[in-house]
Amino acid sequence: MIVVMRHDATPDEVEAIRARLIDDGFRVHLSPGVERTIIGVIGENTERVYGVSAMAGVEQVVPVHRPYKLVSREFHPDPSVIHVGPVAVGGNRVVVMAGPCAVESREQVMEAAGVVNGLGLSVLRGGAYKPRTSPYSFQGMGVEGLKILAEARERYGLMIVTEAVDHESLRQVAEWADIVQVGARNMQNFELLKAVGQTAKPVLLKRGMSATIDEWLQAAEYIVAHGNPNVILCERGIRTYESKTRNTLDLSAIPVVKELSHLPIVIDPSHSTGHWNWVAPMARAAVAAGADGLIIEAHPDPSRALSDGPQSLNLPHLEELVHSLRTLAEVVGRTL
């Protein structure tokens, strides 16, 4: 249920509704908007919420039949802007996050970070904990990798996005990084989602490779319901019968998510296509379709990458892509 307050409701009236709902045993999330305050109500027997229609300051009580509430447009009609240090995700600027799939060495990260910074981008990606399909593949450098990323942040003033795969790595990632990535394979790891909800760091929530948009938004709801409203959604391709690409990039997720939810959405053209040569066209298509950002794998020497080399751009190709994205962003009324 959602309680929509009148535009002229006083803070005391909002507080009276909040106190009454808590007293009735509900969990309550306030969303103070520019126009009016909206109160999200979660709990059992929510028909009881209709009672507050009689209280001062209430415009209407609206039932929400979707399986998610706090991430829905009904609860928060304006798009959310997620602040990561000086970077705003969900505003007019298209935020491009770039860097290697995995942190492999100090030299590799510094070289990539230097180029990312030189291109005027503000977020560096790189995995220190790698959820690999094969147990024999490189599993990541762990905390040592996080320290390298943190050094790149100090040196270049970049924000860091990196993946947490379990509770222990989450503790470390929340300490060293700026954005906690929850990977496709963990999108329905509900205990991890709850724990991420209890951190104060912005979260990049990737879509599970077999997840519907509703399931993905419910995963986001877990994080927000547990206390962390700073969720950025990331479409990274889904499994279909097509086998030429690594996954099928669902670009239609951009307008669909924007209609259903207020959360920003970024596109990962690297894991979706699986091939460096297809990354640039899909990155441009994503910007044209209204994505709030991109996350792109780039490596100083993709031929020697310990993970996802075939889909990684080399650094000159990253540069070429960023230049073309800037031209395109201007055409669609955005900056980059």
Return residues touching ligand PEP (CB under 6 A).
101, 127, 131, 183-185, 206, 236, 268, 271
Q: How far is the CB of 288 from ligand PEP (least distance, A)?
A: 22
Binding-site partner at residue 221 among ligand PEP, Mn ion, none, CB < 5 to 8 Å by type: none
The structure tokens listed for 262 are 């207020």
Q: How far is the CB of 93 from ligand PEP (least distance, A)?
A: 22
Cβ atoms within 10 Å, residue 237: 24
Binding-site partner at residue 29 among ligand PEP, Mn ion, none, CB < 5 to 8 Å by type: none
Q: How far is the CB of 271 from ligand PEP (least distance, A)?
A: 4
Q: How far is the CB of 101 from Mn ion (least distance, A)?
A: 3
Dihedral angle sign, alpha carbons of residues 61, 190, 232, 157: positive
Return d(Cα 202, Cα 175) in angstroms, integer: 12
Our CB check for ligand PEP shows the closer of 271 and 334 to be 271
Our CB check for ligand PEP shows the closer of 148 and 184 to be 184
- Residue sitting closest to Mn ion (CB): 101
Our CB check for ligand PEP shows the closer of 284 and 299 to be 299
Task: Note the residues at the interface with Mn ion (CB under 5 A).
Answer: 101, 308
Residue type, 259: E
Per the listing, tokens 């249920």 go with: 1
Q: How far is the CB of 252 from Mn ion (least distance, A)?
A: 23
- Residue sitting closest to ligand PEP (CB): 183
Binding-site partner at residue 265 among ligand PEP, Mn ion, none, CB < 5 to 8 Å by type: none
Our CB check for Mn ion shows the closer of 126 and 264 to be 126
Cross-strand partners of 188: none
Our CB check for ligand PEP shows the closer of 72 and 218 to be 218
Binding-site partner at residue 153 among Mn ion, ligand PEP, none, CB < 5 to 8 Å by type: none
Q: How far is the CB of 40 from ligand PEP (least distance, A)?
A: 29
Could you give the C-alpha distances from 283 to 141, 273, 288, 297, in angstroms and in order?
A: 28, 10, 9, 12
Q: How far is the CB of 271 from Mn ion (least distance, A)?
A: 6
Binding-site partner at residue 236 among Mn ion, ligand PEP, none, CB < 5 to 8 Å by type: ligand PEP
Binding-site partner at residue 183 among Mn ion, ligand PEP, none, CB < 5 to 8 Å by type: ligand PEP
Binding-site partner at residue 184 among ligand PEP, Mn ion, none, CB < 5 to 8 Å by type: ligand PEP
Binding-site partner at residue 14 among Mn ion, ligand PEP, none, CB < 5 to 8 Å by type: none
Q: How far is the CB of 137 from ligand PEP (least distance, A)?
A: 11
Our CB check for ligand PEP shows the closer of 74 and 297 to be 297
